Amino acid sequence: MPLPYGVGRITPGWLALAAGAAALVGLGAFAYARQALEGLIVTGMRDWGTMGGATWALYISFDVYFVGVSFAGITVAAFIRLLRLDYLRPISRVAELLTIVSLILAALSVLADLGQPLRGIVNLFRYARPQSPFFGTFTMVIAGYLFASLVYFYLAGRRDAYLMAQHHSPLRWFYRAWAAGYRDTPQERERHQRTSFWLALGIIPLLITAHSTLGLVFGLMGGRPGWFSALQAPGFVVLAGISGIGHIVVLAALLRWALGTPERPGMAAFRWLGLALLVLGLIYVYFTMVEMITAGYAGREHEQELAKLVLTGYYAPYFWVGMGALALAIGLLAMQALSGRWSIPLLVASGVLVNVTAVAKRLIIVVPSLTHGSLLPYRTGLYIPTWVEGSIIAGLMGLGALMILLFMKVFPIMEVPEPSGAEEVRG
């Protein structure tokens, strides 16, 4: 009897995708080797002020982006357990996996930004200040958040590991080790559901605190125009939800097509994701309007200059492309919500568009305040990313895709249906 959801089966399409992802990883590894040998001079980053550049740029922008994607993944999975949203169960594992992969990519983005990553790791333990938001970012996000996500992922997969161990396969030992003595009895299932409920209840405040801390890294810098804002932390949380749910929509649609399961995930799941994306998108538009009006009308001189720079100046293309993509996504989602007819291709298009917004907004948050936001009498700077930075980011994207592709061949990417044959609620 074949294993479910294509586990263990290598197809030409899967090989082509894996080869493409591996090629991107190779390109990223080559670019990083160039950076490690020659130093950060091969990037577009320079010291702000005296050297007229930006010390944080593409790497830190994508660090924030990856952490944001991870936030929505585990949050959706936790809400599925807490609210018993059974029609979303088919996407819970891919959401959990997306969280773990994104956090790994976020950590690697930080390491790429450090000219000497080993020294940076050592100095973190030697000179870290617990009262600093940076300390919270590394301890809560990279350590605590990742550890909690791994524990949640492991516990949620024990039942499927037990079911997979009933099949004769080369990975039977792996499934038995993951199941760790689990038996699919009513008592075991009840205990598993109770444990998952309390873990989900505890992980949600941890997620909000961790991602708010990342926003406070920027929001508490009073001497940096464009960053000092009470909306940074909630804005980070909302945009994180937007980018993460957008990713989940795209991955769910790809799984539905690649695995040949037109009923899993069902339209009820896509409708829920679409409505969540619409609500969060409208909230973020409101946040952006409030932020820009406040900075442009009542802000200090440097705040107003930076607002003009983003709205009509050098960084305006990034801002308007990002907000235009978000407006188009909101339009597509609102049209479907008002008509009651949901389309998976339109939802996928919306998921892609909101991630264009997320990347553009992360760049706008990080870079302009460094090149043009100094309160000191320094000349304005310029930042243009080089092929090295772009290749390393592409390599990280390829690595994330490769990890998901490899996982699909060793473990079910969706939860195996209940033995009773109970089907999910369909839309």
> What's the average model confidence in pLDDT over 373-382?
82
Q: Where are the domains of the chain?
A: 4-408
Higher pLDDT, 209 or 34: 34
The pLDDT assigned to 51 comes to 78
Which residue's entry shows tokens 């792996």?
Answer: 174
Higher pLDDT, 207 or 154: 154
Going by pLDDT thresholds of 50, 70 and 90, the confidence category of residue 396 is very high
CATH topology of domain 4-408: Formate dehydrogenase/DMSO reductase fold (1.20.1630)
The pLDDT assigned to 210 comes to 74
Output the CA angle 221-222-223, nearest 5 degrees: 95
Residue 141 has pLDDT above 70, yes or no: no
Residues 267-301 pLDDT 10s: 999 999 999 999 999 999 999 999 888 877 777 88
Residue 181 has pLDDT above 70, yes or no: yes
> What's the average model confidence in pLDDT over 357-361?
95
> What's the average model confidence in pLDDT over 98-123?
88
Tell whether the torsion through CA atoms of 179, 253, 275 and 272 is positive or negative.
negative
Contacts of residue 109, Cβ cutoff 8 Å, sequence gap at least 6: 59, 60, 62, 63, 66, 393, 396
The pLDDT assigned to 142 comes to 64
**Sequence letter at residue 73:** G
Higher pLDDT, 250 or 194: 250
For the record, the structure tokens of 111 come out as 């390491």
The pLDDT assigned to 421 comes to 41
Mean pLDDT across the chain:
87
pTM: 0.90
